Amino acid sequence: DDCISIVNGSSAIKMKRIFCGPGHGISIGSLGKDNSMGIVTKVVLDTAYLRETANGLRIKTWQTSAVKISQIMYRNISGTTKSSKAMKFACSDTVPCSDIVLSNVNLEKKDGTVETYCNSAQGIGYGIVHPSADCLTSNDKDAKLAEPTRNEIVHTEL
């Protein structure tokens, strides 16, 4: 199963110094079954090592749902995944994910190349981000790079 699974209604969560694997990886979801509504916001994963996880980092919503996922930070993440999709941000077509931030993320596959999959996902990557997260869309990337602490996502303390 998932090392960590963030469920509907989660907010202001900070996870730090996580060792995960083997297993499914670290997931937000699955959310929005039967076109339901939901929200997940202000989630920070800081300093994690993933070992041979099935999915790596994942956001999973049903494509026609109304689940709002926003202000998600992945920082200082490394390790290996069994999947060629080391990061998968499968967000709702109806309510896209917003403000996903990747900072110093490096995920590999022992026997092949890795990629990032995005569907209706908006955000940025800075520092080392491997595999590339160019599939994340951004309306104002330069402004966000200049001010990565926008919405206090980087400094969320519980």
The pair of three-digit structure tokens given for residue 13, joined into one six-digit string: 């969560």
* Catalytic residue from among 6, 20, 21, 24: 24
Q: Are 3 and 26 in contact (CB under 8 A)?
A: yes
130 catalytic, yes or no? no
What is the spatial distance between Cα 58 and Cα 15, in angstroms, rounded to a whole number?
15
What is the spatial distance between Cα 57 and Cα 143, in angstroms, rounded to a whole number?
25
Tell how strand 115-119 and strand 97-108 pair up. Answer: unpaired
Q: What are the residue numbers of the active site?
A: 24
